Structure 1
Amino acid sequence: MKASTKSVIIFMVVYLGSLSILATWVGYLYYIDRKNALIEKMHLEMRYKARSINAQLEYYHMNKSEQFTFYEEGYDIALYDNERELLASTFMDDIDFSKLFYADDDEYYLVETLYKEYLDVKYIVIKKPLDVQQLNEILEEITLIAFYGFIFILFVALLLAKIMLSPIKRSIASLTKFMKDATHEMNTPISTILMSYEHMDKHNLDAKQIRSLDRIDIATKTLSSLYRDLSFASFHDYIEYEDTPIDVKEVILERIKYMDTLIQFKGLKVSTALQPKTIYMDQRKLILLIDNLLSNAIKFSKKNGEIEVSLTENYFSVKDNGIGISKEDQKSIFDRFKSTNSLHGGFGVGLDIVNQICKEYHIKIELESEPKKGSTFRLVWPEQKFNK
């Protein structure tokens, strides 16, 4: 995943997530407020009905009639005497007379106490369910507002992300162009130096001159490795690669021999334990894998140290006894342009290339390292992919 894409995703998750939490809380408070308003309205209506029923009771009482009827659509009504004995009712629920207005689930009860008793009625109890349809309408309203609000916030988030990433993208584009131009310009002088060195007459030279030539060889091969890394980083999308069966052991021995001058210059001892192994991949990419792991081991090894190179049917590993890598730095050493040691450099492009190639060929990278104790990089081959 590209760094810019990852940044956009993180920004969107944080921005949309925080606003969604805030909007959910606001929506919840709005829903509770509307629901309480409905309950208060229903409470007033139930009190009005109680007074209406009380007026009917007074009418029957004034006319000295004990045969009375009442019906209120949408309401259940119960009448109780002074001893709270049921006189008449359209429902048979137990009533809590200690409360004037209360809810049991979605059913609401109003207990109205009469100051004047008519027909022995002391308490009027009215029961009414909360209007579910109105609650659903409120939820639909909130959902609709939330949907259009999310669309608007998403549009604003994308616009903000584009505005913030625009200067970064321009900087990355400029850096990429510079890398491509610099890589292109490096090819000719490096090739010229290497060719001149190989054709140089090295006989009849004193020790000082030979040592100077060794330094030229080391510097040129270091530049050549950097050139290959930058070429892959800049142009790998435009280069045609071809996977073929490769003898890994032969390539490893060839690359160790290629780096022999640098190995000898630091007084390093390279021990090898190589078993036959054939894989199916592009040889140039395999060389990039091996060269980057070997060059890092050489670069970060102590003078007169030892490097162990192993190859089995299952993995390829390079172990050194150099400066090592801290647990914190191990999390980011495969990121491009990330260097774990400002004094020695390195780990900037090479391990990013190793990571890219390993992902392409489904190779698992394992790292074991401790500061001042060295590092072991292990590439585990996927059996089905590479056993040919």
Structure 2
Amino acid sequence: MDTNLTSEKSSLIKFLALYIFLTLIILILASMMYYKFEKEVMLYSRLPKLQEYSKDVIRRIRAMHESLLEDNYYPRYSTFKSAIYDADHVKIFSLLENEHIDFQNFLYKNGSYIHFIKEPSLYYLGAKYVIIEVKDDEIWLHKVYKNIVLFGSLFLLFMGLVGYFLVKQFLKPMKNSFILLNNFIKDTTHELNTPVSTILTNIETIDKNELPPKINKKLNRIEIAARTISVIYKDLVYLLLKDKFPSTLEKIDINALLSQRIDYFKSMAESKKIKISFSQSPCFLEADKQKITRLIDNLLSNAIKYNKIGGTIKIKTFSRGFYIEDSGIGIPEEKIGEIFKRYKRLSSSEGGFGIGLHIVLSIANEFGLKIKVDSKVNQYTRITITW
């Protein structure tokens, strides 16, 4: 069934989404580790030069400290900048562009600058720390970003293909099971059609007025069971073959069609002593008659199935729609949005597969019909179809 294929695709997409999400997390962690590694490599490649700069600054401030000349100036360099801080991390003098100093690390990247902290053996000019600052050209960083994008994309593509292949392998047994199940349902429904049609045809030829009441009652039960099986058969055929038969549009007299279907379900309604009232106004619809019949049959079947003994069914047509209202168990307000889901059954006390209202929704969507559900628990359910 196409729905099974849709379910398979949905499962495939969900698994791949989770798989790719986890792959992205791994990729992000790996990228962070790669970035950190490359940054450390870059910093330590600069270390010898930074140590050389710091030694020169320390030599110059020692000379200033020892000369105590008033015209001494703090050393300045074109290739780097420096600063000196005391033991309490208070600035004594600074030429730094970025003065956010991390005294916990001796070598680190600070924005677009690299800082190196050196402690002189003696406190020249009261300096406990000498900070060297150089500009980071960030060539290494652009290379890191380029590699992350390139190899990350290739990694994602590879993992996506692997994930897709694995999911297809995992879902293959499920797909084969769906195919076997679909073939079984098709064969079963085909075999059911002939005997059920034969039973109903023969029942309709019998004059029930000539039969004893006891036999007549048993015959009614047989007829109800056969009609129930017939409705299930037609629903299954619709689900299996709906996409293989194009719709044939014709002008449908909804009053005539409803009257016909009410007559079809008459014995089922009488078995629960349900009274059906039908209020008519001129009502026509351009659609496929067989599919609209399926829609009406499912609404009537549910109205009987979920009704109470001795209940009522009210049917009313108007110019652009109709409604079917039963006096049954009703639907909780929070559950109304779920009743059209496939295989959804809100009550386990009645039989069925939970496909009837799903078929109603499918047919309504095909012909642009609107569905409105009004219901109160233990009072009524009214389903209105408009166009």
Gap change, CA 1:267 and 1:238, over 3 Å in 2: same
Gap change, CA 1:176 and 1:84, over 3 Å in 2: closer
Q: Quote the Cα distance in structure 1 between the aligned partners of 2:202 and 2:386.
A: 39
- Matching residue of 1:188: 194
Task: Report deviation, 1:126.
Answer: 3.2
Task: Report deviation, 1:366.
Answer: 3.5
Give secondary structure in 1 for the equivalent of 2:200: helix
Gap change, CA 1:156 and 1:214, over 3 Å in 2: same
Q: Quote the Cα distance in structure 1 between the aligned partners of 2:359 and 2:269.
A: 23
User: Contact 1:79–1:124 (CA<8 Å) still a contact in 2?
Assistant: yes
**Equivalent residue in structure 2 for 1:308, among 306, 309, 314:** 314
- Matching residue of 1:287: 293
Task: Name the amino acid aligned to 1:247.
Answer: D
Q: Does 1:6 align with 2:4?
A: no
**Equivalent residue in structure 1 for 2:261, among 255, 262, 269:** 255
Q: Does 1:45 align with 2:43?
A: no
**Equivalent residue in structure 1 for 2:221, among 215, 234, 237:** 215
Task: Report deviation, 1:295.
Answer: 0.3
Task: Name the amino acid aligned to 1:214.
Answer: N
Gap change, CA 1:264 and 1:140, over 3 Å in 2: same
Task: Name the amino acid aligned to 1:48.
Answer: E
Paired-residue identity, %: 30
**Equivalent residue in structure 1 for 2:340, among 334, 346, 351:** 334
Give secondary structure in 1 for the equivalent of 2:208: coil
Give secondary structure in 2 for the equivalent of 1:170: helix
TM-score by length of 1: 0.80
Structure 1: gaps (5+ residues)? 382-388
Greater shift, 308-317 or 255-264, is seen at 308-317
- Matching residue of 2:29: 25
Gap change, CA 1:50 and 1:92, over 3 Å in 2: closer
User: Contact 2:247–2:288 (CA<8 Å) still a contact in 1?
Assistant: yes
Greater shift, 100-109 or 132-141, is seen at 100-109
Q: Quote the Cα distance in structure 2 between the aligned partners of 1:31 and 1:47.
A: 24
Task: Name the amino acid aligned to 2:24.
Answer: S
Greater shift, 317-326 or 104-113, is seen at 104-113
Cα deviation code 1:261-289 (max 9, x no counterpart): 21122111223344333222100000000
Task: Report deviation, 1:177.
Answer: 0.6
Task: Report deviation, 1:294.
Answer: 0.7
Greater shift, 91-100 or 243-252, is seen at 91-100
Q: Does 1:34 align with 2:34?
A: no
Cα deviation code 1:39-82 (max 9, x no counterpart): 45445532232225656899999xxxx99998665x346799xx
Q: Quote the Cα distance in structure 2 between the aligned partners of 1:176 and 1:94.
A: 72
User: Contact 1:245–1:278 (CA<8 Å) still a contact in 2?
Assistant: yes
The two structures, once aligned, show a CA RMSD in angstroms of 3.8
Alignment map for 1:164-175 (pairs within 5 Å): 164-175=170-181
Alignment map for 1:117-266 (pairs within 5 Å): 126-266=132-272
Task: Report deviation, 1:13.
Answer: 1.8
Give secondary structure in 1 for the equivalent of 2:285: strand
Q: Does 1:378 align with 2:384?
A: yes
- Matching residue of 2:69: none
Task: Name the amino acid aligned to 2:27.
Answer: A
Q: Quote the Cα distance in structure 1 between the aligned partners of 2:84 and 2:221.
A: 109
Q: Quote the Cα distance in structure 1 between the aligned partners of 2:176 and 2:376.
A: 38
- Matching residue of 1:16: 20
Task: Report deviation, 1:136.
Answer: 1.4
Task: Report deviation, 1:361.
Answer: 2.1
Task: Report deviation, 1:313.
Answer: 4.3
Q: Quote the Cα distance in structure 2 between the aligned partners of 1:195 and 1:96.
A: 94
Task: Name the amino acid aligned to 1:35.
Answer: K
Gap change, CA 1:359 and 1:36, over 3 Å in 2: farther
TM-score by length of 2: 0.80
Task: Report deviation, 1:208.
Answer: 2.1
Task: Name the amino acid aligned to 2:156.
Answer: F
- Matching residue of 1:386: none
Aligned pairs, how many? 372
Q: Quote the Cα distance in structure 1 between the aligned partners of 2:164 and 2:254.
A: 48
Gap change, CA 1:229 and 1:157, over 3 Å in 2: same
